[in-house]
């Protein structure tokens, strides 16, 4: 049997197949923390990645943001101190996985150039967009999962995400997380019951939804209904704090964590502004898993 992710060692994680990882997350019963890291932001301390720091504060899975799959750079890795001196290399993701012993994924953004925008569009590199080519590259780089979502101002749509799920099902073959943390600049609902059903029918393994209290106008009952739909189809659900509230006061994080767990989220994501307050990852982990699992997770050596 697969060991649950919250208690798995680095050697056990490294041997997990896609289906193993899915089951391992499910078996953890809502206590998995996903930390999002912007790979091109200067790290707090030179010579160490943000991913290593977030792992040290209790993250169970690492989601890389801002990574160009065609020119992969992760600041803090050996010889990757600044963008001016960094050299892209295809082995860098596998090297990072060896350092942290955790499943690692990447954001790929399904850009919709036709969607009505609420703000100025922010262009992104082709290597960050969700396409056949980037999905193939993500598999080659060694990612365990992908997250089909979009950063503020990029401009995506529910249709674009649905289309990207279908592509990912064909060309990536790892775990597929899909959904919006916020509107990402577009003028349409973040999700509806039909959108959730479309994501599931297209092959998503995990539905991404805004964490309770993060997006204006999204009620707990809306999230409960969406999570229930996912679970009825043997699909998991991940809450996402993608509105900079990851840098809020610790009690805000704790309250969100317990409410999200009560709703039934299988994973809880905490966004990339956490680099301002790494301790909020620990607050989130301790709230949903308790001090024992938190302490064991941060203490377990990657040599095990």
Q: What is the dihedral of CA 52, 279, 150, 243, to 10 degrees?
A: -170
Task: Report the alpha-carbon distance of residue 189 to residue 177 in Å, rounded.
Answer: 18
Instruction: Check whether 47 has a pLDDT greater than 80.
Output: yes
Model pLDDT for residues 186-232, shown as the tens digit of each residue: 888 899 999 999 999 999 999 999 999 999 999 999 999 999 999 99
Name the residue with higher pLDDT: 83 or 162: 162
- Taking only the tens place, the pLDDT of each residue in 239-282 is 999 999 999 999 999 999 999 999 999 999 999 876 668 999 99
CB 264 within 8 A of CB 228: yes
DSSP annotation of 117 reads B
pLDDT of residue 85: 87
Domains by residue range for the chain, with CATH: 29-299 (3.20.20.70)
* pTM, 2 dp: 0.96
State yes or no: pLDDT of 57 exceeds 80.
Answer: yes
Cβ(281)–Cβ(270) under 8 Å? yes
pLDDT digits (tens, 9 = 90+) for 1-38: 789 999 999 999 999 999 999 999 999 999 999 999 99
What angle (nearest 5°) sits at the alpha carbon of residue 172, between those of residues 34 and 86? 65
Question: What sign results for the dihedral spanned by CA atoms 53, 54, 60, 61?
Answer: negative
pLDDT at 114: 86
Cα–Cα distance for residue pair 264/75, rounded to 1 Å: 35
Q: In whole angstroms, what is the distance from residue 80 CA to residue 60 CA?
A: 24
Distance in angstroms (rounded) separating the CA atoms of residues 298 and 63: 18
Calpha distance 185→152 (Å, rounded): 6
Residue 73: phi and psi, rounded to 5, are -130, 135
* Contact yes or no for 135/177 (Cβ under 8 A): no
**C-alpha closest to that of 67 among 120, 110, 124, 14:** 124
What does DSSP say about strands 236-241 and 61-65: parallel, antiparallel, or unpaired? unpaired
Which pLDDT does position 169 carry in this prediction?
A: 97
% of the chain at pLDDT higher than 90: 84
Tell me if 185 sits within 8 A of 214, measured CB to CB.
Answer: no
Helices 193-202 and 220-232: crossing angle, nearest 10°? 30
In 242-299, where do the E strands start and end? 267-270
Q: How confident is the model at residue 51 (pLDDT cuts 50, 70, 90)?
A: very high
**What is the residue-wise DSSP string for 105-130?**
EEEEB---TTSPBSS------GGGB-
pLDDT at residue 61, rounded to an integer: 98
CA–CA separation, 73 and 95 (whole Å): 12
List the one residue out of 161, 143, 152 whose CA is nearest residue 185.
Answer: 152
283 SS3 class: helix
Give pLDDT, residue 274: 65
Neighbour tally for 229: CB within 10 Å: 17
pLDDT tens digits, 105-161: 999 999 989 888 788 889 999 999 999 999 999 999 999 999 999 888 888 999 999
Q: Please state, in angstroms and rounded to a whole number, the distance separating the CA atoms of residues 194 and 114.
A: 20
Query: Is 71's pLDDT higher than 80?
Result: yes
- Other CB atoms within 10 Å distance of the CB of residue 299: 8
Using the predicted structure, report yes or no on whether residue 236 has a pLDDT greater than 90: yes
């Amino acid at each position: 049997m697969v060991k649950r992710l919250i208690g798995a060692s680095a050697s056990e994680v490294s041997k997990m197949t896609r289906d193993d990882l899915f089951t391992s997350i499910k078996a953890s019963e809502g206590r998995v923390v996903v930390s999002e890291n912007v790979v091109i932001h200067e790290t707090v301390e030179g010579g160490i990645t943000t991913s290593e720091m977030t792992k040290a504060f209790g993250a169970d899975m690492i989601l890389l943001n801002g990574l160009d799959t065609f020119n992969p750079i992760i600041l803090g890795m050996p010889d990757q101190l600044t963008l001016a001196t960094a050299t892209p290399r295809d082995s860098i993701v596998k090297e990072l996985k060896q350092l942290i012993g955790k499943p690692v994924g990447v954001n790929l953004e399904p850009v919709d150039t036709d969607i009505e925008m609420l703000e100025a569009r922010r262009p992104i590199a082709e290597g960050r967009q969700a396409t056949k080519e980037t999905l193939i590259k993500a598999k080659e780089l060694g990612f365990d999962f992908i997250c089909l979502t979009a950063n503020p101002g990029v401009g995506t749509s529910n249709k674009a995400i649905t289309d990207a799920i279908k592509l990912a099902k064909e060309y990536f073959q790892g775990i597929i997380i899909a959904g919006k943390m916020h509107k990402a600049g577009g003028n349409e609902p973040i999700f509806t019951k039909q959108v959730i059903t479309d994501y599931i029918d297209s092959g998503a393994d995990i539905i991404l939804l805004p964490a309770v209290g993060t997006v204006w106008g999204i009620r707990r009952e809306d999230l409960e209904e969406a999570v229930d739909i996912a679970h009825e189809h043997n699909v998991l659900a991940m809450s996402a704090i993608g509105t900079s509230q990851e840098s809020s006061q610790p009690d805000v994080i704790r309250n969100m964590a317990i409410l999200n767990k009560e709703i039934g989220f299988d994973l809880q994501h905490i966004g990339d502004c956490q680099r301002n307050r790494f301790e909020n990852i620990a607050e989130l982990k301790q709230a949903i898993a308790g001090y024992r699992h938190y302490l064991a997770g941060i203490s377990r050596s990657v040599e095990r």
